[in-house]
Amino acid sequence: MNITIVIPLYKPDKKLLGKVLKKVKEQDFDGKTKIILIGNKGGLAEQLNWGIKKAKTEIVVTLQQDCVPVSKKWLKELIEPLKDKNIVASSSKVELPYSLWKNFDWVAKLLTAKDQGILFPILDEKGSAYRKSILLKVGLFNSENFKTAGEDSDMILKLEDIGKIALTDAKIVHFHPTDWRKRFQKELQYANGLGTLLRIHKFCRLDMFFGLIKSIPVIGWPVFLLRFPYKKVGKLGILWIPLSLILNFIYSVGFWRGFLSGKQKVYPDVNEYFRRYKSF
């Protein structure tokens, strides 16, 4: 089986990208692999679509520039479920390593506490495999309504109408350093994406209901408080109480902008967010 690996690029760390490519080339895999690197093609969804269209193989794997496969069997384990015709896509386990997380500033550490450790995503572009024919059938990633967040959840909903998505034993390590400014920007983008997703798909999943509750200032605050992994952060957890209230307001702005406009946008930085917030 031959495959194509699509890697979108955005200001990549050249050393880390080199490590990712090295790990990919070292994979214990019988078929041929072609790597497509995409940069300067608009938003993430547009980059992915461009790479998928260029692929000449039925199986297409998406891998992000800062996600390193942990073993030489990663690729083999990832695509194994696709031998079953009922499986339309498969995903990797994703780990944000403690060694990286512990060096974040305290705000970023709290905002990413839920991600620290090993996550089991239904499907995202960090390390997933798809059938190209199925992606074309559902219209590829929705680059019209999603730019930097929400396109993966939108794809999950479209694929689940056709077949099954498999979670595999394949694992990648996500080396994504951040700080409080970048993380607030990311939270704004996530909320913006979920608001757009709800506008398009309505209440087809339980997390959309919680997303709507979270989007209400103050009323949605308890959701942030109750769904936080306090044990991971120890005494630092007390600071989550005021920080989560701020996050509740940021989330509200992003969510309702996405819901009302029906489109997820790119927010350049935190200063841009505050400018937009004042005019909301």
pLDDT score, position 273 = 40
pLDDT score, position 202 = 85
Q: Where in the chain is the domain with CATH 3.90.550.10?
A: 3-174
Identify the CATH class of 3-174. alpha beta
pLDDT score, position 40 = 74
Give me the tens of pLDDT residue by residue for the chain, a chain 280 residues long: 899 999 999 889 999 999 999 999 999 988 899 999 998 777 899 999 999 999 999 999 999 999 999 999 999 999 999 999 999 999 999 999 999 999 999 999 999 999 999 999 889 889 999 999 999 999 999 999 998 899 999 999 999 999 999 999 999 999 999 999 999 999 999 999 999 999 999 877 767 888 899 999 999 999 999 999 999 999 999 999 999 999 999 999 999 999 999 999 865 544 444 444 443 3
Instruction: Give this prediction's pTM.
Output: 0.88
Reduced 3-state DSSP string for the chain: CCEEEEEECCCCCHHHHHHHHHHHHCCCCCCCEEEEEECCCCCHHHHHHHHHHHCCCCEEEEECCCEEECCCCHHHHHHHHHHCCCEEEEEEEEEECHHHHCCCCHHHHHHCHHHEEEECCCCCCCEEEEEHHHHHHCCCCCCCCCCCCCHHHHHHHHHHCCCEEEEEEEEEEECCCCCHHHHHHHHHHHHHHHHHHHHHHCCCCHHHHHHHHHCCCCCCHHHHHHCCCHHHHHHHHHHHHHHHHHHHHHHHHHHHHHHHHCCCCCCCCHHHHHHHHHCC
